[in-house]
Each structure stands twice: as structure tokens, then as C-alpha cells.
């Protein structure tokens, strides 16, 4: 190995439950490839197995905690006990390759395709996502909100029983937890919305319920992380100042890590704070050493990864790049970083063990992956 990249392969121990063999993480990415009943497919398991050999931790695609939270066709489920064997199959495949297995749990809220929920799309308020043809969601009742919070705890229990090493609460990318936090999607005037403090109530209640499930059911150390998106383009929408308040709330919850969702690791803030600084820098400064941070976004080469690590962020996630080159980690570790592939080859689906639904999404989405024009 080139000594320049040695820091990427140093083990990390937070002093709590998060202990991983290196600083590299497979980011959570939807693959659209599960069975209609919510069980994982053979192709999906192969896809994860292939990419679990080098990284220290794999965060799965999101799994829905409630049937009306299913956000994608071909998404695997965690909303009922009958799905525990399916979840166990995935956890075992990842762990057998030497990586920690983390199940990302979520509810899609207003982003759920109406046909998956018989048209009953729900959210914090009756505000649709911006864009033509978006469904107008039905505001959740207080009873339904309480039920969904419990569902996050129940899916955490299933993750524990299935053998996962942890869960990541998906509070990013415009899904239900973010919808409650956002002033764009949350126009409520009860205890679940209104002020910034009230908009924090639902996400923090979910964290509390997940932590409670871990305390009640986990016999071994069990990791709990939280993923968030730092800004929204809408007005009103989440600003960096809002996100700093979210971070302040999250660091009081004794989480094992926070995970910022970015398309570009070095992207600059849009508003609400110093717009001349990268978001990741502002976030890391606010968190300090209170909780480990995972950074992600357009990291393709070994140099990209080591530069990101030098920012002080202790864990670096690979998203699109580990789909493009499943042996990325091994190539760096073996001094073969010059052989890393950074653009998708449209002829290589089989060699890359990419399930067909994900492959179709990649090659028909120009600009999403390098190499797809």
C-alpha cells in the first residue's frame, strides 16, 4: 500500500459501540431490486456481498418501518416479523465478508409513490413536494404519528433479531423525518410543528424510541446512527442554521454516529450561515468530538478519500463509486489505486453484480453516474 493512504485503513473506535476495521463505509443506496413481498432477492444479496469485503461498515438501502412508508418499487421491508428471515439473510451476507451490517430504517412520507399505498400518501402537513404532478399528502393524525414512532422501535427490534450490528435512522433526502423537521413540509400548529423546537419533536422522538428498543432487546453492542440532509432548496426550507439546531439536539441523544447526506463532500452552504465554507466543515466544527461523523459525496479516487479524511471527518462513505468499482477498497489496500475505475461501463453489468432494476435506473439517468451521458 502507498503509505499516503495508510490513514484510510486505520481502525476506528469511538470509545462506545462503534468499532470498525477501517475508515471506509458503503453508503446507503436504493437498489429497487427486492421482491414484491418485501423480501430480499438473490441478486440483491450478491450485490451486497460483492461490496462488503473491503469496507469496515455497510449501510443498507432504506427499509420501510410501516407499510404506508414504502418509498420505492423493489424496496425490502422491515415492517413485520415475517420479514426477519429476509433481513437475517442480508445481515449474514454482509457480516460474512468482514463488515459491520447497518440497516437503514425510514418512512417515505409524501415521497411515497401513490400506487404503493392505494393513494393514501401521508406527511406532516398537506403540502406536496415541489414539482409537477406531485401527490398532495394527507396530514398524519397524532395517533398515527405515535404509531409510526413505535414502528421505528419495532423495526429496530427486528434488526436486532436478524443479526444486524446496528440501524441508521434515515432523517435525510426529503423523507418523513425530514418532512417533520422542514418548514416547507411541516405547517402544523400542534406539538409536532410550528416553531423550530416543535419541528424537532418527531425526529428526536424516533431516536428515543429506537434507543429504547436497543436497551430492551440488544444483548450485544448495537449501533444507532442518524442521517440528515443539511439544506433544502425550497423557501421556506431547511437552512444550515436549522441543521445546526438539529445537530445540537442529536448530540444529546448518545448516538454512535451522525451521517451527513451530500452529493459533493466539499459543497458549500447555500444560506443561513457562512456561504463561503463547505457544509461539512461547518457541521464538523459544530459537532466537535461529541459524536463521530460520516461524510460522503463524489469521492471517486484514493486521493479524494484521503483529502476528505484530512478534513477531520473520521469516517468516509463511498456511494456511487463502490457500485462502479466493487474492489475499490482492495485496490487501494494493495497499492493498485491506479487501477480504480471511476466511470460506469455500460457493458459490465454482470461483472459488477448489479441487479437489473438498479442497472436500468443507472443507465437511464444521465448525470447520476459518471460515464452515463
Say if CB 268 and CB 278 are below 8 A apart. Answer: yes
From the list 64, 175, 226, 257, the catalytic residue is 175
* Look-up of cell digits 405547517: 187
Answer whether the bond into residue 236 is a cis peptide, omega within 30°: yes
Sign of CA dihedral 58, 62, 64, 65: positive
Compute the distance between CA of residue 315 and CA of residue 130 in angstroms, rounded to an integer. 33
3-class DSSP state of 63: strand
Cβ-based neighbours of 48, under 8 Å, separated by 6 or more: 58, 60, 90, 93, 94
Q: Tell which phi-psi region holds residue 65, choosing left (phi > 0), alpha (psi between -120 and 50) or beta.
A: alpha
* C-alpha grid cell, residue 275: 456561504
Output DSSP code: residue 269: P
Which helix or strand (DSSP H or E) is residue 316 part of? Answer: strand 315-318
- The answer to whether 5 is a known catalytic residue is no
Active-site residues, by number, are 175
Amino acid at each position: 500500500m502507498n503509505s499516503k493512504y495508510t490513514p484510510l485503513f486505520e481502525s476506528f473506535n469511538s470509545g462506545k459501540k462503534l468499532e470498525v476495521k477501517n475508515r471506509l463505509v458503503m453508503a446507503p443506496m436504493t437498489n429497487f431490486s427486492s421482491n414484491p413481498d418485501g423480501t430480499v432477492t438473490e441478486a440483491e444479496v450478491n450485490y451486497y456481498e460483492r461490496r462488503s469485503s473491503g469496507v469496515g461498515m455497510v449501510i443498507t438501502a432504506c427499509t420501510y418501518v410501516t407499510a404506508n412508508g414504502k418509498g420505492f418499487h423493489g424496496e425490502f421491508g422491515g415492517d413485520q416479523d415475517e420479514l426477519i428471515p429476509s433481513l437475517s439473510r442480508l445481515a449474514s451476507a454482509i457480516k460474512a465478508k468482514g463488515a459491520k451490517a447497518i440497516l437503514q430504517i425510514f418512512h417515505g412520507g409524501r415521497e411515497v409513490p401513490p400506487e404503493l399505498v392505494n393513494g393514501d400518501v401521508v406527511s406532516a402537513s398537506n403540502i406536496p413536494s415541489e414539482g409537477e404532478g406531485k401527490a398532495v399528502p394527507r396530514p398524519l393524525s397524532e395517533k398515527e404519528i405515535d404509531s409510526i414512532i413505535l414502528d421505528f422501535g419495532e423495526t429496530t427490534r427486528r434488526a436486532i433479531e436478524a443479526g444486524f450490528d446496528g440501524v441508521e435512522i434515515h432523517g435525510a433526502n426529503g423523507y418523513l423525518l425530514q418532512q417533520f423537521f422542514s418548514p416547507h413540509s411541516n405547517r402544523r400548529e400542534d406539538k409536532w410543528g410550528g416553531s423550530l423546537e416543535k419541528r424537532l419533536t418527531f425526529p428526536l422522538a424516533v431516536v428515543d424510541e429506537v434507543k429504547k428498543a436497543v436497551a430492551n432487546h440488544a444483548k450485544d453492542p448495537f449501533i444507532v446512527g442518524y442521517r440528515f440532509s443539511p439544506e433544502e432548496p425550497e423557501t421556506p426550507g431547511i437552512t444550515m442554521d436549522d441543521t445546526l439546531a438539529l445537530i445540537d439536539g442529536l448530540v444529546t441523544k448518545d448516538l454512535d454516529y451522525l451521517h451527513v447526506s451530500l452529493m459533493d463532500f466539499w459543497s458549500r452552504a447555500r444560506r443561513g450561515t457562512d456561504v463561503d465554507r463547505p457544509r461539512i466543515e461547518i457541521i464538523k466544527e459544530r459537532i466537535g468530538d461529541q459524536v463521530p461523523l460520516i461524510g460522503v459525496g463524489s469521492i471517486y479516487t484514493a486521493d479524494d478519500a484521503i483529502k476528505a479524511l484530512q478534513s477531520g471527518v473520521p469516517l468516509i462513505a463511498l456511494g456511487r463509486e463502490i457500485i462502479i468499482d466493487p474492489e475499490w477498497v482492495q485496490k487501494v489496500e494493495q497499492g493498485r489505486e491506479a487501477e480504480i475505475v471511476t466511470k460506469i461501463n455500460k457493458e459490465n453489468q454482470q461483472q459488477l453484480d448489479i441487479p437489473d432494476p438498479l442497472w436500468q435506473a443507472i443507465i437511464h439517468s444521465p448525470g447520476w453516474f459518471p460515464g452515463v451521458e
